[in-house]
Chains A and B, each alone.
Chain A
Amino acid sequence: MKQRTVESVNLTPMIDIVFQMIIFFVFTLDLEREKFDEDITIPDAPNAQEIKEFEPATVYPQVLKDGQIQVGTAIYDPASFQNLIRGTVKRFGQKVPVMIYADGQTKHKDIKRVMDICSSEGLYKINIVGLIEKSN
C-alpha cells in the first residue's frame, strides 16, 4: 500500500503579501518628523489653515504649562533659546518660520516671551499651531 504524503501549505503568496507590506511601510516611514512632548494638549483650531507640509529649517518651540521652553526633547532657558534662535537666523536667515506649540493652559506671558525672543532676532513668520483632528 502506498502512503499518501500530507499536502504541504503553499507559503509563497504569504511571502508576497509580507513583502508588499514592507514596501508600504518603507515608503510611508517618516524619520524626520519632529517629535513633540506628549504632555502638551494643543487647543482645537479646526477652521485655521491646515499644515500640509512642514517647511525645512522651521523652528518648533514648545511652551509647556509651567512656561518652560522645549525644542525637540531639550529644555531651554530664555538665554539659551535666544542663542539657538540667533544661530538659526545666522544660518538660514530671517525667513525661517516659527511654529509655536503651546498647551491650552499655558499663560500668554510665557508665549509672549518666546515670541519676543524670535522677534528680537528678526524672525517675523510667527505661527501658532492648533489642532484640527487627532489621529487616535
Chain B
Amino acid sequence: MRRTFPLVIAFTMGLLMMIQYFIPHPISQKFYKIMVQQWLIIISIFFYVFAWRSFGLYHINKIKRRKEGWWASVVAFVGVFFMLLAGFGDRIPGGIGHFIYKYFNFDDLYNYMFAPLQATMFSLLAFFIASAAFRAFKARTMEATLLLVTATIVMLGRVPLGASMWKGLPKVVEWILMYPNMAAQRGIMIGVGLGMIATSMKIILGIERSYLGGE
C-alpha cells in the first residue's frame, strides 16, 4: 500500500494534467486552476518543512559528533535564527527576539551583510579562472586548439576593448554565438527534452520508482 498508493496518484494526476492541456473544456480548466493555484502551491510549501528538517539534522549531527568544521554549523544556526528574529522578532513579546528586531534591521542585514558576502564568494571565481586558464588551457590537441581560439575571440569580442581593436570583432562573436554555438546548444536541448519526456512517462507509468526512495 505504501508504494502502490503514490504510484496510483502519480499515474492519475500525470494523466489528468496531460489530458487537460489538450481539452479546453470548462471542467478541465477548472481542474487546472484548482491544481496550479491551490494544490500544487500548498504541496510545495512542504519543501520547506523537509529543507528545515534536513538542515537541522545535518548540523545537529555535525555539532554533536564534533566533526571537522563543527563550529561552522553553530554559525549557520546563529545566522538562520538571527535573521528570523530580525524579521519576525516583534511577534515574540520581550526577550532576545524583540531586542534583535528592535536593533537589527532585516533589510540592512540583507543589503550590507548577506549580499556583499555572497557576491564576494562568487567573485573569487575570477581569480581561480585566471589561474586555471594559465595552467590548464593548453593547445594539446586539435579540439583543445579550436576551443582555445574560439574562447579567446569570444572573450575579446564581448568587451569594449575588443571592439576598439577591431570594429568587426563583436559581429564575429555574435556569429559564433548565433550559429555554431546555437547548433550545439539546440542539439543538447533536444536531447535533454527527449530525456525528460522519457523519464516523465516512466514515472507516470510506474516504471521509474526511485523518487519513492529505496530500490
Co-complex (A, B): no
